[in-house]
Structure 1
Amino acid sequence: MTEIEKQANKWLILLHSGEASQQDIQAFKQWLQVSSCHVETYRHAESLWRMTRYSESLYTTHTTRSSRKSTYMLSTMATAALLLIACVLFFQLQPVSPMQGERLLTTDVGQIQTFTLADNSSVTLGGDSKVSVWFEEAQRSTRLIKGDALFDVQHAPQRPFVTYIDDAQITVLGTRYDVQKRPYQNSVTVGHGKVNVANNREEVSLTPGQKVNLVTNKIGKVSYVEPDFFAQWKQQRFAFSHHTLEDVVSVINRHNLTPVRIATPTLRTLRVTVAFSAVQSFQVLESLAQQYEFDIKKTPSEILLF
């Protein structure tokens, strides 16, 4: 659990306890205004709380008169807090009710597909990838859950387009950018336009040809990518420079039907440098095994590295 998630949970407990003071509410408003990451994380915690409360109501069948009275009072206080927070969110931060429900976009292993969104923006997903999309009046939001995504965003100055990935968020008005999610390291690369990348500690602006790597609570140094290498996963070509073997294997597994499994835990963090196409996956693993002195075994159901 990230630090922001811990903070969101603390606010959730306080607000639903019915004991929040005016000073607490003001502090909560200030916390929300620090970053849209705070808003998104709190809303997610709120959704989970609602689901849990509903589940509990399914099996709670008997209460005493006193407990019912207590529950009613707590419910009333929590509802009042919720209404107050709703007003804060609406008037201060404007994360208004969704114009349309959340949409989940997915691809199968080895599949690359382009999806058109409600605003005529598009997102192209790499193999075995997943993105959630939800649009609001003031903001267009997406979250990369797994894999690779190339966003081609329609320009809308009054309605930012935001992509969330782990503890970072990417904000644009209209541009083209590539986001890749890996076990140990994510990345953002800009094709054209301007992109803002931020987490709860730092922020950086990227222009065409620039790239940053993302690890937990840290945005790496800006590097540069040749136009020919931008989003080359669309051609099922991949390049890794000093990445973990697990990052490489995660990509191979999203583009090949025979899964690769790292059987020796210490191999997961082995740093490798390699470039290959999806059709060369087994050959490149054999080459890495020879270069870095580990074993490889191919069975009918999987490829083992140990």
Structure 2
Amino acid sequence: MGNPEVQAREWFMRVQSGELSDRQQEALADWLCESPENLAAYQHCEAVWEQLGRLDTAEVPVERADRVEGSLWQRFLLAASTRLNGGFFPGWKTSGFALASVTALVFGVLFWNGQPTGPDALKFETSIGEVATYQLDDGSELTLGARSRVRVVMSESVRRVDIQAGRGYFDVVTDPERPFHVYAHDARVEVVGTQFDVLRTERRVTVSVREGIVDVLATDPDQVAAEQPSVTLRAGNRVTKERHETFSAIDTLPEEDISAWRQGRLVYHRASLNDVVDELNRYSSDRFTLASPDLGGIELTASFQIDQLDALPELLSKTLPVRVQKESDGHYILFSANAPYGS
């Protein structure tokens, strides 16, 4: 059995990040019903969050329940009623309090999952090819890469950024009383004050450190008890975490390359072609796609200026075992170098 308070915090942060899958929602329902301690720990997280003006399920109109997916709602209620009324909690069997409490929590999870609320929640977003720098309330700086989107919460006790898409570079003002948290997929970055880069793609999260010390933790409850629930990075270190997988080995790269994109230069060190294509589609109005998923694992080490993307198709053809074909609409398709033309 794990620590209910630790597990509750991980579950609650997962819910707030908007990354809770159907399977994980079912697992949360089961976990809430396992013991009164689990339920109490989760309720404590909600109480703290309410004090920050982030969540107030008591004010949710009853008619909002119509927006909840019926089958998923039924699974939550079935799990709760089976566990509670079936005698899992001996002292609660004849009381409606337990089921009502779990029902309220479940509704909160379903309705608020991924919804930015409260006066402290801000959104920043960039368009294709745009790089923008924002000054946060605590004096920290956030630079967003092209086609990126984040949600920011700053209060007297919380400094939190959720990367919903793309890339962010952080220059964080030191505040030992308020650690700075960055969430992306099922990873959480925790610092006191430092400079680091977080890249979120469809498949993974990559964290690179320019200065200071950064802790990166798994937030998926299935991995919290794993052999490698967290890693510590120092200047020049980088780590990657595939979604729902453990961390990669820590590697090293030149510190100046970590933020090179802020100066208009894209630098790749053993980057997968999947990630390269993902980034190109954030900087270029021309769309790049892979003809086959098998090409996604090809690695690229290269550096080029963002304003010279027109030369990129030729560069890829010369440095990788691929053939780049341009369609009439400006769409580029990457084929294996051995693939026949017209395939």
TM-score, with normalisation over the residues of structure 1? Answer: 0.72
Name 2:113's counterpart in structure 1. Answer: none
Distance 1:191 1:242, change over 3 A: closer
Name 1:143's counterpart in structure 2. Answer: 162
1:303 and 2:322 aligned: no
Letter in 2 for 1:25: P
1:259 and 2:269 aligned: no
Is the Cα contact below 8 Å between 1:260 and 1:303 reproduced in 2?
A: yes
Distance across 2 between alignment mates of 1:115 and 1:99: 20
- 1:223-244 deviations in Å (ceiling 9; x for gaps): 2232321211112212223332
Name 1:189's counterpart in structure 2. Answer: 208
- 1:107-153 deviations in Å (ceiling 9; x for gaps): 01111101112222221001111111123443211111111101111
1:54 and 2:81 aligned: no
CA shift for structure 1 position 32: 10
SS at match of 2:151: strand
CA shift for structure 1 position 280: 2.9
1:1-306 matches, cutoff 5 A? 6-12=23-29, 15=32, 20=33, 24-28=35-39, 54-56=64-66, 79-81=100-102, 100-199=119-218, 200=224, 201=226, 202-216=229-243, 217-290=245-318, 291-306=320-335
RMSD of aligned Cα (Å): 4.0
SS at match of 1:158: coil
5+ residue gaps, structure 1, are 34-38, 61-73, 86-97
Distance 1:84 1:305, change over 3 A: closer
CA shift for structure 1 position 77: 5.4
Distance 1:142 1:110, change over 3 A: same
SS at match of 1:191: strand
Is the Cα contact below 8 Å between 1:156 and 1:173 reproduced in 2?
A: yes
Is the Cα contact below 8 Å between 1:100 and 1:136 reproduced in 2?
A: no
TM-score, with normalisation over the residues of structure 2? Answer: 0.65
Distance 1:101 1:82, change over 3 A: farther
Distance 1:3 1:145, change over 3 A: closer
Between 5-14 and 131-140, the greater mean CA deviation after superposition? 5-14
Distance 1:84 1:132, change over 3 A: closer
Distance across 2 between alignment mates of 1:3 and 1:234: 32
5+ residue gaps, structure 2, are 1-13, 71-94, 107-116, 219-223, 336-343
* Number of positions where the alignment pairs a residue of Structure 1 with one of Structure 2: 265
Distance across 2 between alignment mates of 1:237 and 1:174: 25
Distance across 2 between alignment mates of 1:51 and 1:207: 48
Letter in 1 for 2:194: T
